[in-house]
């Protein structure tokens, strides 16, 4: 579920674990999607000051390599709303691994059922995630949001 070095807690699985980050107590669920994710369930992602709380999670000593922090509001057992703070990048409009981690965490916490399609609403659109014992499957649209030029 997670790599042993992602979080400085001596537990094989971290689900709904109270920890202190930035002087506040949060209940975290951690998993790896190939990169470390910490999910926190909140009453409203729209009222969350992610620019303040995101860096606190990313840089907390609890996460020695930094962490992608997902803040998730449960709408119902098939719908989540999420905002993701990606380590090294800040808030993202859409984060595939963060969205997958949100659904895994929601399932581990009993908010969603394994094997069901879960709709996740992000600032950049919506993704559908289906988590089973064998895989985490993500489907959704890809949209071009930026053109750029890099001089080397």
Share of the chain above pLDDT 70, in %: 97
Q: Residue 73 forms beta bridges with which residues?
A: 81
Is 60's pLDDT higher than 50?
yes
Count Cβ atoms below 10 Å from residue 75 Cβ, excluding itself: 13
Across the range 23-34, mean pLDDT stands at 95
Burial of 46 (0-12, 13-18, 19+ CB in 10 A): exposed
pLDDT tens track for 107-152: 999 999 999 999 999 999 999 999 999 999 999 988 787 899 999 9
Q: What is the pTM of this model?
A: 0.90
Q: What band does 2 get if pLDDT is binned at 50, 70 and 90?
A: very low
DSSP string for 42-65: -S-STT--HHHHHHHHHT-TTSTT
Judge contact between 92 and 125, C-beta under 8 A.
no
Judge contact between 38 and 70, C-beta under 8 A.
yes
Is 26's pLDDT higher than 90?
yes
């Amino acid at each position: 579920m997670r790599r042993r070095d992602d979080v400085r807690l001596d537990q094989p699985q971290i689900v709904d674990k109270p920890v202190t980050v930035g002087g506040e107590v949060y209940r975290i669920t951690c998993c790896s999607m190939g990169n470390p994710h910490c999910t926190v369930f909140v009453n409203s992602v729209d009222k969350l000051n992610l620019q303040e709380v995101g860096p606190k999670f990313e840089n907390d000593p609890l996460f020695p390599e930094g962490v992608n922090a997902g803040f998730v509001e449960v709408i119902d057992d098939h719908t989540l709303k999420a905002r993701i703070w990606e380590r090294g990048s800040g808030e993202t409009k859409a984060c595939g691994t963060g969205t997958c981690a949100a659904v895994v965490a929601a399932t581990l916490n009993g908010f969603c059922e394994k094997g069901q399609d879960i709709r996740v609403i992000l600032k950049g659109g919506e993704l559908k995630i289906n988590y089973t014992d064998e895989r985490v499957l993500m489907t959704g649209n890809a949209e071009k949001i930026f053109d750029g030029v890099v001089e080397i």
